[in-house]
Amino acid sequence: MRVFQAIAFAAVTAVSISQASSQEVRVGYWSSGASAALGLVLEEGKFLEAEGLKPTWTTVTKLAEVNRALISKSIDIAVVGGTLPSLRLGAENVPAKIILANLIADANFVVPADSPIKTLSDLKGKKIGSTPPGSTMHALVGAILQGNYNLSANDFHQIPAGEAQLLTFLQRGEIDAALMRTITLQTFGSQAKLRKISTVPEEWKKLIKADAPPMLGVGVVDVAFAEKHPDVVVKFIVANIKATQWGSKNPDKVADILGRRLQMSERDAKVFAGTWNNTYIASFSEADMTSLLKMAEIFKASDNFPGTVGRDVFLPDFYKKARAIVDGGK
């Protein structure tokens, strides 16, 4: 009996010590869209807890609200903040910095299967379906066609619409090409009768002459929190790296999480999970920062971007330390 009590006491003491040593952090993410899957995997997989953190999770209904939560100090770290609003924070000297590149701007240039268009240079004088002006993808299309194919803004016309509507426009011949996500193409299937002529990540790497994709989202931290708890930020990034690797290796488990938490159909959840590598990374290399600074230039030119974004908008040392921890554990 005494032995049992001793063991029980030791177990309770161990749990108490573990809980006491856990470092608290308030984490936010958008509860829909592509960023939701990463947030859900982090949350359900207990990846932060595995690194000794005690997260309090906050979800928001719009991507822009993640950055607002940081500004109001309602959260300490945003799993994914939109690239454009996050870069704006730096331009406006808001004390929130980018610590990770994690959500790829995954999209494909597609045309009808029987279209005579073979390459992006053939889009001169054509109508291209894309997202609305002011969006990341809209700006990327213009930058790619101008930078890689010497097409001026007057040489093509972007038609804004949702992807389902763009498919209809393509089938009716109302537009010549369109920008569509990989997950959308896989959802439509072969019956859509579309042909891919290039991808945004491929063209972007060619444009910036660096091996880094354009980003739709980035990890962002409150500067005061980072200065006070640098080890927490490192652990957060370690958790992100491990969660991203896990998602790539476990598509069925990702699909199960998405089905339960987002009420996705089994088919849609599996399609989404199957495109994990097209959407998520956990990196913050020199090439990633080059890519983000180039995006800032494009936003400034196309969207009256305020101020100037420099390297001071980044806090790369946390990623370097996290990467060393992950690589050292292999």
Residue 312 has pLDDT above 50, yes or no: yes
Give the Cα separation of 277 and 210 in Å (integer). Answer: 19
The token pair at 177 is: 């090409």
Write down the pLDDT at residue 330.
Answer: 64
Q: What is the pLDDT of residues 202-218, one digit of tens each?
A: 999 999 999 999 999 99
Residue with tokens 């609003």: 85
Residue 5 has pLDDT above 90, yes or no: no
- Confidence band (pLDDT; 50, 70, 90) for 240? very high
Write down the pLDDT at residue 300.
Answer: 80
Q: Which amino acid is at 73?
A: K
Residue 238 has pLDDT above 90, yes or no: yes
How far lies 219's CA from each of 2, 68, 91, 122, 263, in Å?
50, 14, 17, 37, 26
- Mean pLDDT over 122-130 rounds to 97
Q: What is the pLDDT of residues 146-170, one digit of tens each?
A: 999 999 999 999 999 999 999 999 9
* Structural contact between residues 25 and 56, judged by C-beta atoms closer than 8 angstroms: yes
- Mean pLDDT over 101-130 rounds to 97
Write down the pLDDT at residue 64.
Answer: 79
Q: What is the pLDDT of residues 54-89, one digit of tens each?
A: 999 999 988 778 888 999 999 999 999 988 889 888
User: Roughly how many angstroms between the first and final C-alpha of the chain, as a whole number?
Assistant: 43
The model's pTM is: 0.89
Residue 2 has pLDDT above 80, yes or no: no
Write down the pLDDT at residue 12.
Answer: 40
Write down the pLDDT at residue 189.
Answer: 78
The token pair at 244 is: 């991203």
* Structural contact between residues 302 and 139, judged by C-beta atoms closer than 8 angstroms: yes
- Mean pLDDT over 296-307 rounds to 75
Q: 37: buried, middle or exposed (CB in 10 Å: 19+, 13-18, 0-12)?
A: buried
Write down the pLDDT at residue 1.
Answer: 45
Residue with tokens 């610590």: 99
